Amino acid sequence: MTHQQRTFAAEASRLPSKREHGVGKCVMSRRNFLLSSGAATAVVMVAASSGSAQQIPGVVATYPRKLIGKLSALKTDEPVGFEYPDEGAFARSVLIKLGREAGGGIGPQKDVVAFNNTCTHQGGELAGTYKADTKSLGACPLHLSTYDLTRHGILISGQAYQSLPQVLLELEGDDIYAVGVFGLIYGRFDNLQG
Ligand code: FES
């Protein structure tokens, strides 16, 4: 292990975990989230372009677990609406069994995902825009942004420049829980309002 790797490992080991804090925030890079299949683990990314170690943290806000559905009740390509992390503005979200493995997906096929339903561009309502053939949400009725639900809500096309916030899920038996949100919900300075 190089000196840089030892320094990185030491920094990562000091970061708080979601389990340690329960409710709150932990630091996490988007890259490692994309690699971790939805687990909200504290990590730091090292940028190598300058030749020196550099921390580039992202922020995952985590919340008390909320039961949002039953795995056995989901049907492929039939979205189910719910509100998370609260019932305030722009909290509307959608739970979908894609029938295809997806980033952050849960269940035996890793195909059950959830996303906030508000377009990150200017707040267009995305409910009812799910496309089963492309596993996407959109096009947004305002300016046509479309998001790939198999790849953490990354933008496929349109005016937005941020991915759709993904609701982090946990499975316990047949129960599906929402446990956090990756990304900032449109219209909020902080996902945890009030
Ligand atoms: S509000 Fe959705 S693309 Fe502009």
Residue bearing the bigger pLDDT, 88 or 31: 88
Cβ 159 under 6 angstroms from ligand 1? yes
Would you state the pLDDT for residue 41? 39
Report whether 192 contacts 180 (CB < 8 A).
no
The pTM of this model reads: 0.73
Ligand 1, from 159, 163, 164, 186: best to mutate by most atoms within 8 Å of Cβ?
159
Which domains does the chain carry? 3-61 (no CATH), 64-182 (2.102.10.10)
pLDDT digits (tens, 9 = 90+) for 93-107: 999 999 999 999 999
Residue entry with tokens 């932990």 = 26
CA 53, 58, 63, 67 dihedral sign is negative
Cβ 145 under 6 angstroms from ligand 1? yes
Residue 22 CA to ligand 1 center (angstroms) comes to 34
Q: Is 152 a catalytic residue?
A: no
Q: Is 21 a catalytic residue?
A: no
Would you state the pLDDT for residue 11? 38
In the chain, the percentage of residues whose pLDDT exceeds 90 is 62
pLDDT digits (tens, 9 = 90+) for 108-135: 999 999 999 999 999 999 999 999 999 9
